[in-house]
């Protein structure tokens, strides 16, 4: 069996033991004689799966009892709308509520653009002036603001928040798609967090929402049923058929993480992998990180050729990506809007994968002279 090292930002690498177990259970899950893909979501066979998955998530993240966990469809992108509708939505004809957004990259901007359809969005700080290579100083919100939204880890540009903004009584909301379970996170500091599964949790198609109970039930009456948190809460994530197989795989990933020693253990490994790669970039004469040091992500590491003219750089990047793929190091192209290269080293990326990438980069650098 040939396996490559997959540095994709999402859908991303999954733990090999999870894939192997899912393969074994594909046609007979939990001795039911059927695949999870075939199970009724309301059956006695699927209920233990979703309950076990939620229990594991609560344990690993230390989710307090006054928070509800939801497994929804639509990925994180649908949450851009659901957050605004449920936390700042108003009845027709009423003045719109203000919502604070901090612009730290393309996904943060997309969240703000969607939120602006339902709330009076105020972008209070931005790092666009330096191509999103840092996290800006976060201002204190007005007590009347409906919520305060950040993107905790910026997948495309490779930055992360190392200190959370002070928001007082204003609920802090965060997209944690590309950093969930990568290091400890105090959920109680947030009113709501959400994550698309396809980076650190499982396959694409599932979103996890963790919301404080006092924030549920605030959507205006005209909100579509599928976009109301209170309806999904009342139905236990089963108002409609949930992404059953995705929830099952998330459960297997969480079991794998628990067996490794939990979030503290994976955080140590993630810091080790990131330190290894950033140390190489600091010593390289050909490649460098464009991100300011205090803001560098553990999960997504962009890198670019240093001191190369634009025409040669484009050709060099194309050759690097092609030759890396031939060497079994795939999906290293940067985002189409950012260019360059990017290594996404999520929880499931082994240290050996980072070492293999560094070895290839050293050989490529030597060849380029």
Catalytically active residues, by annotation: 107, 175, 199
Pick from 197, 106, 112, 122: which is nearest to 155 by CA? 106
- The C-alpha atoms of residue 98 and residue 166 are separated, in whole angstroms, by 17
Where are the extended beta strands (E) located within 73-119? 98-103
Written as six digits, the tokens of 113 are 């653009």
Long-range contacts of 58-65 (CB under 8 A, 24+ apart): 59/258, 60/181, 60/254, 60/257, 60/258, 60/262, 60/263, 61/181, 61/185, 61/187, 61/210, 61/263, 62/184, 62/186, 62/187, 63/187, 63/210, 64/187, 64/188
Q: For residues 192 and 173, is the Cβ–Cβ distance under 8 A? A: yes
User: Which residue matches tokens 């049923």?
Assistant: 225
219: number of Cβ within 10 Å: 22
- The C-alpha atoms of residue 213 and residue 211 are separated, in whole angstroms, by 6
29-199-315 Cα angle (round to 5) = 130
Task: Let me know if 91 is exposed, middle or buried by CB neighbors in 10 A (0-12, 13-18, 19+).
Answer: exposed
Q: For residues 276 and 351, is the Cβ–Cβ distance under 8 A? A: yes
Helix (H, G, I), strand (E, B), or coil: what is residue 195?
A: strand
């Amino acid at each position: 069996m040939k396996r490559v090292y997959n540095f994709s930002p999402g859908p991303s690498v999954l733990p090999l033991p999870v894939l192997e177990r899912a393969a074994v259970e594909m046609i007979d899950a939990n001795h039911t004689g059927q695949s999870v893909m075939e199970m009724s979501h309301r059956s006695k066979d699927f209920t233990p799966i979703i309950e076990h998955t939620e229990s594991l998530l609560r344990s690993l993240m230390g989710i307090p009892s006054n928070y509800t966990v939801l497994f929804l469809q639509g990925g994180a992108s649908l949450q851009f709308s659901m957050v605004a509708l449920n936390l700042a939505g108003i009845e027709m004809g009423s003045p719109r509520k203000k919502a604070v957004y901090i612009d730290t990259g393309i996904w943060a901007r997309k969240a703000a653009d969607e939120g602006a359809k339902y709330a009076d969005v105020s972008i209070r700080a931005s790092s666009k002036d330096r191509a999103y290579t840092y996290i800006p100083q976060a201002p204190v919100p007005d007590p009347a603001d409906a919520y305060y939204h950040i993107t905790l880890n910026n997948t495309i540009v490779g930055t992360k928040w190392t200190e959370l903004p002070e928001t007082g009584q204003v609920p802090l909301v965060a997209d944690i798609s590309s950093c969930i379970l990568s290091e400890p996170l105090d959920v109680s500091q947030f009113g709501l967090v959400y994550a698309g599964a396809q980076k650190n949790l499982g396959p694409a198609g599932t979103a996890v929402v963790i919301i404080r109970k006092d924030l549920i039930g605030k959507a205006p009456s005209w909100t579509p049923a599928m976009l109301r948190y209170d309806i999904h809460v009342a139905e236990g994530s089963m108002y409609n058929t949930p992404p059953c197989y995705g929830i099952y795989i998330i459960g297997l990933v969480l079991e794998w993480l628990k067996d490794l020693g939990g979030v503290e253990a994976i955080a140590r490994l993630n810091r080790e992998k990131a330190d290894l790669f950033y140390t190489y970039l600091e010593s390289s004469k050909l490649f460098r990180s464009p991100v300011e040091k205090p803001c560098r992500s553990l999960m997504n590491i962009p890198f670019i050729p240093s001191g190369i003219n634009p025409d040669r750089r484009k050709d060099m990047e194309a050759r690097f990506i092609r030759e890396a793929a031939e060497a079994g190091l795939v999906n290293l192209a940067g985002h189409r809007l950012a260019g360059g290269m990017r290594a996404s080293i999520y929880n499931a990326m082994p240290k050996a994968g980072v070492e293999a990438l560094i070895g290839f980069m050293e050989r490529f650098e030597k060849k380029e002279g």
